[in-house]
């Protein structure tokens, strides 16, 4: 049970597992796109598929248990910014793997977990190294949304981390320590 003084192990674990997995996925995605290192695509897709059920567990947990109570009263602007950033993070962490899977499936590449096929590729019968898109339109939508959501998540993550730093070093209010499992 989450309280004002202490968060549950489940809340803390889901927060950090999702946070770390999203940071790894966003980093590998940026690296792949900027360096055209497509050999790590299977790793990126596998981790994204694995992340989705964990993200969904976190969303269900949050819906059932609500947001943790703030440690103290903050300004209206700070409360609204925190709500917005948390909402973007929650929705974005669900939308990111879904749009990645849409992009991969619609473009004909398929996806799976470390070689275990979940949604099959659509190979070109004339060129074994190529695939045939199932839907160019949906592939484009998936790719564009995956990119937009990715950059939006990066901004939200930076704001979230800035908030944690502010709470810890400027407010000295224990918010970060509580998320690290310490009772305040």
Question: Over the stretch 127-139, which tens digit does the pLDDT of each residue have?
Answer: 888 999 999 999 9
pLDDT at residue 1 in the model? 84
| 27-43 residue pLDDT tens | 999 999 999 999 999 99
Overall average pLDDT of the 77-106 stretch? 97
Residue 2 has a pLDDT of: 86
| Structure token pair of residue 137 | 């339109």
Per-domain residue ranges of the chain:
9-179
Please report, to the nearest 10 degrees, the dihedral formed by the alpha carbons of residues 93, 141, 50, 151 taken in order: -40
Is residue 184 scored above 80 in pLDDT? no
Structure tokens given for 82: 């925190």
117 has pLDDT over 80: yes
77 has a pLDDT exceeding 80: yes
Mean per-residue pLDDT, 151-156:
98
Percent of the chain past pLDDT 70, that is, above it, reads 100
The per-residue pLDDT for 35 is 96
Task: Specify the pairing of strand 116-119 against strand 111-113.
Answer: antiparallel
What does the pLDDT average to over 166-179? 92
What is the CATH T-level fold of the domain 9-179, as seen in this structure?
Fumarate Reductase Cytochrome B subunit (1.20.950)
pLDDT band at 69 (very low <50, low <70, confident <90, very high): confident
């Amino acid at each position: 049970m989450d309280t004002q003084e202490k968060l549950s192990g489940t809340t803390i674990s889901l927060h950090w597992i999702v946070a770390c997995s999203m940071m790894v996925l966003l980093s590998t995605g940026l690296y792949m796109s900027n360096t055209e290192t497509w050999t790590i695509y299977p790793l990126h897709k596998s981790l994204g598929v694995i992340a989705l059920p964990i993200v969904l567990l976190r969303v269900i947990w949050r819906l059932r248990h609500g947001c943790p109570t703030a440690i103290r009263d903050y300004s209206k602007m700070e409360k609204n910014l925190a709500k917005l950033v948390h909402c973007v993070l929650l929705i974005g962490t669900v939308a990111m793997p879904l749009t990645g899977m849409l992009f991969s499936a619609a473009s004909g590449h398929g996806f799976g977990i470390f070689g275990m096929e979940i949604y099959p590729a659509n190979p070109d019968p004339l060129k074994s190294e190529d695939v045939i898109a199932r839907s160019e339109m949906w592939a484009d939508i998936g790719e564009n949304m995956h990119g937009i959501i990715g950059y939006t998540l990066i901004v939200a993550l930076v704001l979230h981390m800035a908030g944690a730093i502010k709470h810890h070093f400027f407010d000295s209010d224990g918010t970060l320590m509580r998320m690290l499992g310490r009772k305040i």
